[in-house]
């Protein structure tokens, strides 16, 4: 049986019992960059060692100038080159590794040591790779990018109750990078986002380990914006905000084999905060485990008149463990009361597929949908949802016929074409 609704401006708790329905088509996943080639990627390269440029691994000496000097020589070297940061503790102020480089080929970057940020860093970005082609960045298993953000979190968010404000430093940012692989990076305690991907194309990110306390504000693991053909795979993220946030202008993004928690789950958004935002489409989140988070999978948009679209969004094959709000569409997203949540969102959400979601949750509802009252959520399809409340008492359940599908969800707003089948939540 299909449930198809066209509703507006009401809020209700629905207890649904649906018979199994026929299947429906699922959109194909986006294309994304291939894994790095097998073999020794460092052979035949001219090595530019930061220690040869005055680098000191004592955890106190500022190595920013040494890094910039080594990068400049590596960038303009007429042949294959590598920037090497050996083992040891390197204190580093803000650095930007910018291009273009010789023959449009970026030096490979190998980080074997630990990079330590200043506690009082005032720049928007700590480690920045900008305007590069064919970037390869990797790190040793003992290396870490330590953002030293604890002092920042304790001072409170600069953005509380504000629509625009200066942000604290992102630990690692790629901007205007075409064709790149970034792998095996450990990041801890960023002041703000741990990794930002902005205005990039064809970037593969894998093997990340990102850690910050659950109470650390705005410490998203990955934030993607204005970028196409991005993949995040085989990574572990536990932070104080979204493990992955996919922002405006994101097209063809794959998130796969990611373990998330603590944090706020995996989110598309927030969207609609600013004027003239580009659309989001072709987002594919699959084969992930989300544990002990504030949300599971989420789409979030701001109320107001900033129009855009988000379409062809797929969440599938995801395990939830003791999660609040496992599935949430929130078109009244208004953190810290920084807007008028009574306004309707102008972001149009359509073609959202959520399938094969299983596990446990600790909130009142497994599914929360707050759709716009003026731009109806359209073509929302849920299938094979099997979620159990940790307070679930089977003795209190009403008798159900074998094969039925049952569930409770909270809904508000306007909805056009909504399908559920083979689900218990």
Does residue 1 have a pLDDT over 80? no
Which CATH superfamily includes the segment(s) 25-30+45-150+167-241?
Answer: Single-stranded right-handed beta-helix, Pectin lyase-like (2.160.20.10)
pLDDT tops 60 at residue 196 = yes
pLDDT in tens, 82-132: 999 999 999 999 999 999 999 999 999 999 999 999 999 999 999 999 999
For 68-134, the DSSP string reads HHHHHHHHH-SS-EEEEE-SSEEE---EEEE---GGG-PPEEEE-SEEE--TT--SSEEEEEEEEEE
20 has a pLDDT exceeding 60: no
Q: What is the pLDDT of residue 328?
A: 98
Six-digit token string for 132: 């590069």
Mean pLDDT of 149-156: 83
| For range 199-215, the mean pLDDT | 98
Q: Closest Cα to residue 341, out of 332, 351, 350?
A: 332
CA distance 15 to 410: 9
Under 8 Å between Cβ of 203 and 222: no
For residue 8, pLDDT beyond 60: no
Q: Mean pLDDT score of the chain, rounded to an integer?
A: 88
Residues catalogued as catalytic = 264
Task: Say whether pLDDT at 37 is over 70.
Answer: no
CA distances from 226 to 174, 278, 353, 367, 401 (A): 12, 8, 23, 29, 48
Q: What is the pTM of this model?
A: 0.89
Whether the per-residue pLDDT at 2 is higher than 70: the answer is: no
Q: Minimal CA–CA distance to 387: which of 330, 322, 329?
A: 322
For residue 361, pLDDT over 90 is answered with yes
Q: What is the model's pLDDT at position 30?
A: 58
Reported confidence tier of residue 17, pLDDT bands at 50, 70, 90:
very low
Whether residue 163 is predicted with pLDDT greater than 70 in this model: the reply is no
Domain positions in the chain: 1-20+276-393+405-425, 25-30+45-150+167-241
């Amino acid at each position: 049986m299909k449930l198809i609704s066209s509703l507006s401006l009401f809020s209700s708790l629905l207890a649904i019992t649906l018979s199994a329905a026929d299947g429906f088509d699922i959109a194909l996943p986006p294309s994304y960059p291939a894994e790095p080639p097998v073999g020794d990627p460092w052979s035949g390269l001219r090595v530019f060692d930061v220690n040869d440029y005055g680098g000191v691994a004592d955890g106190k000496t500022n190595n920013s100038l040494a890094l910039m000097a080594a990068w400049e020589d590596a960038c303009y070297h007429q042949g294959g080159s590598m920037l090497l940061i050996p083992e040891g503790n390197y204190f580093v102020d803000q650095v930007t590794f910018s291009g273009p480089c010789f023959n449009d080929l970026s030096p490979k970057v190998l980080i074997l040591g630990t990079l330590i940020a200043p506690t009082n860093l005032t720049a928007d970005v700590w480690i920045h790779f900008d305007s590069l082609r064919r970037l390869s960045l990797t790190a040793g298993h003992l290396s870490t990018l330590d953002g030293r953000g604890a002092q920042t979190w304790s001072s409170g968010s600069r953005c509380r109750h504000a629509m625009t404000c200066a942000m604290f430093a992102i630990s690692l940012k790629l901007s205007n990078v075409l064709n790149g692989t970034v792998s095996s990076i450990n990041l801890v305690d960023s002041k703000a986002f741990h990794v930002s991907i902005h205005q990039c194309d064809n970037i593969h990110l894998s093997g990340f380990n990102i850690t910050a306390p659950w109470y650390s504000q705005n410490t998203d693991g990955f934030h993607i914006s204005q970028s196409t053909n991005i993949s995040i795979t085989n990574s572990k993220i536990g932070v104080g905000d979204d493990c992955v946030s996919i922002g405006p202008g994101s097209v063809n993004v794959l998130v796969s084999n990611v373990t998330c928690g603590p944090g706020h789950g995996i989110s598309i958004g927030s969207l609609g905060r600013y004027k003239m935002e580009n659309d989001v489409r072709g987002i594919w989140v699959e084969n992930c485990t989300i544990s002990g988070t504030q949300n599971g999978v989420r789409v979030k948009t701001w109320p107001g008149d900033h129009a855009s679209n988000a379409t062809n969004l797929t969440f599938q094959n995801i395990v939830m463990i003791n999660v609040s709000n496992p599935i949430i569409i929130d078109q009244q997203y208004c953190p810290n009361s920084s807007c008028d949540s009574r306004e309707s969102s102008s972001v149009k959400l359509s073609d959202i597929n959520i399938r094969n979601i299983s596990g446990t949750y600790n909130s009142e509802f497994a599914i929360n949908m707050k759709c716009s009252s003026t731009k109806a959520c359209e073509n929302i399809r849920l299938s094979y949802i099997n979620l159990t409340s940790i307070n679930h008492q089977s003795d209190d359940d009403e008798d159900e016929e074998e094969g039925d599908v049952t569930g409770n969800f909270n809904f508000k707003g306007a909805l056009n074409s909504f399908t559920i089948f083979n689900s218990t939540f």
